[in-house]
Amino acid sequence: MRAQTNLVALTLALVLVTGATVVGVAVADGSLAEADRDPLDRHAATAVADRLVAADSPTTVRANALNASVVDGLNATRIETLAPPAEDAAIRVTLDGETVAARGAPDGGATVRRSVVVVSQSTSLQRTINVSRGSAVRIPQGVTRATVAVDPGANTTIRTVRANGRVLLYDGAGLDTNTTIRLSRYEPTTIRVDPGTNATGRVAVTYHRPLVDTRTLTVIADV
Amino acid sequence: MTADRGLVPVVGKGLEAMIVLLYVASLVATLHGGVLPEYRTAAAAEVSDRTLATAADRIEGSVPPRASTVNVTRTVALPDTIDRATYRVRAADGELVLDHPDPTLSGRVPLALPARVVTVEGTWRSDDRTVVRVRGDDGRVRVILT
C-alpha cells in the first residue's frame, strides 16, 4: 500500500513537470513570435521617408520641404527609383491621411512619420515702384527669387537699386535692365531706388510667393 | 518469505528511479532534438535580418548632405557571429548582401542612397573591423566598406 502511494506521487510529479515544460515552451514561442519586428519593413519605410524629404531629392525644394507639383505626380514607380528598398514592396505614402502614392495593401507593415512642409508656387505677383514718388516695394519673407525690371523715364538716370539698404544693382551710367535677384527667405525685403530730383519711370518687381503648408508625411511599407 | 518482503522496497525504489531517469532523458531529447534547434534558427534568422537592416541604415546615414568635400569614416557595430558562424557583408550592384555559411540566414537588401553616390564597394568580415568610409566631392561620392 505504501509503495503504491509513492507511485501516485511520482506520476503526479512527472505530470506537473511536463505541464511546466509545455507552458515554458509556449511562453518562449510567444516571445519569439513577438520579437519579430520586421526590420526590413522598417528599413524600407525609413528609406522612402528619408529619400522623399532629403535636401538633394528631386521631390523637395530644401530639406523637409516638399515641392507640391512634384508630389502631385508621385507614384510607386518613382518612389522605387528614389528609394530602391521599396522595390516589390506594398507601400502607401500619405500626407495628412490623403494618399499620395500607393501600391498593394501594406497594412501590417512598418509605419514612419515625418513632419514636412509642402511648398507650392502662387501665380506671379507684380509690384511697381513709381520712381517719381520715390516709393518702395516690400517683398514678404519666404521669397528667394525676384525679377527686377528697371525702366527709367525720359531724362532720368537710375544708378542704384537697394534691397534692405544694401546695394543690389548699380551702374554708374544708368540702369536699364531686367535682372533676376536672389533674396534671403528668412526676412522681408524692401526694394528701393535712388532717383535724382524730378526723376520719372518705373521699376517693376515680379516674384512668386510660396504657399507653405505643414503636413505629416506617413510612409507604410511591407516588404 | 521474510527475505522476499525485504526486497520489495528496494525493487520499488529502483523502478521509480528508472522511470524518472527515462522521463528526464526523453525530455532532454525532445528539447534538444526539436524545440531548441528550431528556436536557434528562428532567432538567427531574426538577427540576420536585423544585422542587414542596421548595416544598411548605418551606411545610408553616413552619406552627408551635399558638400564640396566629403570625408566620413564611421565604425558600424555588427554581431560577431550569427548562429555561431562568422559571415560577410558586402556591397554588390547597389545592394547590401549578407553571406552566411547557412544559405537560409543569408540575405540582401537594396540601399537607398542619393544619386551623387557613384559606387558602393567593399566587404566586411563580421569578426574584423567594420568601417564605412565616404569619400568624394560635390558631384561624385564613393562609399567603401573596409
Place of cell 528609394: A83
**Residue A3 confidence (pLDDT):** 55
Contacts of A21 in chain B (CB under 8 A): 27, 31
d(CA A17, CA A46): 46
Burial of A185 (0-12, 13-18, 19+ CB in 10 A): middle
Contacts A–B by Cβ distance under 8 A: 73
d(CA B15, CA A45): 62
Task: Please tell me if residue A50 touches chain B, with a CB cutoff of 8 Å.
Answer: yes
What DSSP string runs through A70-97? HHHT--HHHHHHH-GGGTT-EEEEEETT
Bridge-partner residues for A95, per DSSP?
A98, A217
Is A141 in the same domain as A160? yes
CB contact under 8 A, A32 and B57: no
| Confidence band of B6 (pLDDT split at 50, 70, 90) | confident
Count the Cβ atoms, other than its own, within 10 Å of residue A50.
Answer: 19
CA distances from B121 to A84, A98, A119, A149, B95 (A): 17, 39, 37, 52, 10
> Sign of the C-alpha dihedral, residues A73, A77, A82, A88?
positive
CB contact under 8 A, B111 and A40: no
d(CA B43, CA A88): 25
- The pLDDT of residue B134 is above 90: yes
Domain count, chain A: 3
| Per-residue model confidence as pLDDT tens digits over B64-82 | 888 899 999 999 999 999 9
d(CA A53, CA A62): 8
| Per-residue model confidence as pLDDT tens digits over B40-63 | 888 899 999 999 999 999 999 999
Q: Give me the domain span that covers residue A204.
A: 122-208
What ipTM did this prediction achieve?
0.81
Is A77 in the same domain as A46? yes
Is A25 in the same domain as A43? no
Record the cell numbers describing residue A114, joined without a space: 515625418
Tell me the CA end-to-end span of chain A in Å, nearest whole number: 66
CB B59 within 8 A of CB B49: no
Nearest CA in chain B to A223: B109
Bridge-partner residues for A168, per DSSP?
none
| Stated pTM of the model | 0.77
Q: Which of A12, A41, A43, A80 to mutate to test the interface with B (most CBs of B within 10 A)?
A: A43
Nearest CA in chain B to A83: B112
Record the cell numbers describing residue B67, joined without a space: 558638400
Contacts of B18 in chain A (CB under 8 A): none
Widest distance between CA atoms in chain A: 133
Task: Please tell me if residue A8 touches chain B, with a CB cutoff of 8 Å.
Answer: no
Contacts of A56 in chain B (CB under 8 A): 65-66, 114-116
Is A106 in the same domain as A154? no
Is A165 in the same domain as A179? yes
Record the cell numbers describing residue A189, joined without a space: 525685403
Is A134 in the same domain as A111? no
Contacts of A84 in chain B (CB under 8 A): 94-95, 110-112
Helix (H) or strand (E) run with residue A192 in it: strand A189-193
Is A141 in the same domain as A153? yes
Contacts of residue B134, defined as CB under 8 A and 6 or more positions apart, other chains included, come to B62, B63, B64, B70, B71, B72, B73, B141, B142, B143, B144
Is A110 in the same domain as A133? no
Task: Please tell me if residue B46 touches chain A, with a CB cutoff of 8 Å.
Answer: yes
- The pLDDT of residue B1 is above 60: no
Is A45 in the same domain as A61? yes
**Residue B51 confidence (pLDDT):** 93
Q: Which of B50, B120, B138 to mutate to test the interface with A (most CBs of A within 10 A)?
A: B50
CB B107 within 8 A of CB B114: no
Task: Please tell me if residue A213 touches chain B, with a CB cutoff of 8 Å.
Answer: no
Is A128 in the same domain as A203? yes
Is A155 in the same domain as A197? yes
> Sign of the C-alpha dihedral, residues B29, B33, B38, B40?
positive
pLDDT by 10s per residue, chain A, length 223: 555 777 888 889 999 999 999 999 999 888 888 877 788 899 999 999 999 999 888 889 888 999 988 888 888 888 988 888 888 889 999 999 889 899 888 888 899 999 999 988 777 888 888 888 877 888 888 888 899 998 888 888 888 888 888 888 888 888 888 889 888 888 899 988 877 777 888 889 999 888 888 999 999 999 8
Residues in chain B: 146
CB contact under 8 A, A35 and B46: yes
Is A110 in the same domain as A126? no
d(CA B82, CA B102): 10
